[in-house]
Amino acid sequence: MSNSQKILDSFSIKDTLNPKIWEHPENPDDAVMIPKVRKALLLIAEKFIDYLGDEVFVEDIHLTGSLANYNWSEFSDFDLHVIVDLQQYENQSELYKELFNLKKQVFNDKHDIRIFGYDVELYAQDAEETHYSSGVYSVMNGEWISEPKKFKNKIDRELLKKKIESWSEKIDTAISEGNDLEKIKEKLKDYRKSGLEKDGEMSYENLVFKFLRRSGHIEKLFNNANKEIDKELSIETRIEE
């Protein structure tokens, strides 16, 4: 089976939550996180909070994404959100938001943390930030913030393939022709956001984004965009100009 087909198959909906993570996974009304998993996630979150800085007041710690829902697969990760009220920093809230985003990237790059083979990805989320996942679990309090619901939308695989092929071609062409890669990045970000706002996690836009991330296209896009910036700022280019 090709890697592309494996990724497409991963978008299927499961009958239960992931049994490695949840007790009573067949029913979200009764489902609670397995204690040893919760303990591990709290310990990881604590390390991340320490890395953010002693002055951070944390409101909650959430698990969201596919491992808190019915669309989990071998490509899933623990999407662990540390909820911070940025208003505590008053007129410096935007500055702290940028700082926490930077620290998140550095922390995730420096660490390779896994539970049952799934990567653990940390994120500092503003308490006021809109989140579109239907499955959100408070790891801190051991209860659902938003119970997962079975997705009713049936995926048109052929339509999804066409959308994936279109975006893959856009990215490959932009890289090979040296087009404005930052512009492509922003378009892809807006494309995904519009899908999440309209149809949630199983929107075609979000599934296209997930496919491109799992196939390596997004990593290639970002790496080449960084190379373009490095080239523009390098002293050899500036001397020639």
Residue 184 in domain = yes
pLDDT at 222 > cutoff 60: yes
Residue 25 in domain = yes
Residue predicted with more confidence, 56 or 139: 139
Q: What is the structure's pLDDT at 236?
A: 59
The segment with the largest mean pLDDT, out of 9-13, 31-35, 187-191, is 31-35
Return the minimum-mean-pLDDT range out of 54-63, 129-138, 142-151, 197-206: 129-138
For β-strands 136-138 and 58-64, DSSP reports them as antiparallel
Question: Total domain count for the chain?
Answer: 2
pLDDT at 73 > cutoff 60: yes
Q: Which of 127, 146, 165 is the last residue of a domain?
A: 146
Residue 152 in domain = no
Q: What is the structure's pLDDT at 17?
A: 96
pLDDT at 96 > cutoff 70: yes
- 67 phi and psi, to 5 degrees? -75, -5
Q: Give one DSSP letter per residue of 82-142, joined into a string.
A: EEE-GGGGGGGHHHHHHHHHHHHHHHHHH---EETTEEEEEEEEETTS----S-EEETTTT
For β-strands 118-126 and 77-84, DSSP reports them as parallel
225 and 122 within one domain: no
Q: To the nearest 10°, report the CA torsion of 75, 78, 79, 84.
A: -170
218 and 165 within one domain: yes
Residue 124 in domain = yes
* Boundaries of domain holding 167: 157-240
Return the minimum-mean-pLDDT range out of 26-30, 102-106, 107-111, 229-233: 229-233
27 and 108 within one domain: yes
Residue 40 in domain = yes
Residue 174 in domain = yes
Residue 151 in domain = no
- In this prediction the pTM is 0.79
Q: Which of 88, 113, 146 is the last residue of a domain?
A: 146
pLDDT at 24 > cutoff 80: yes
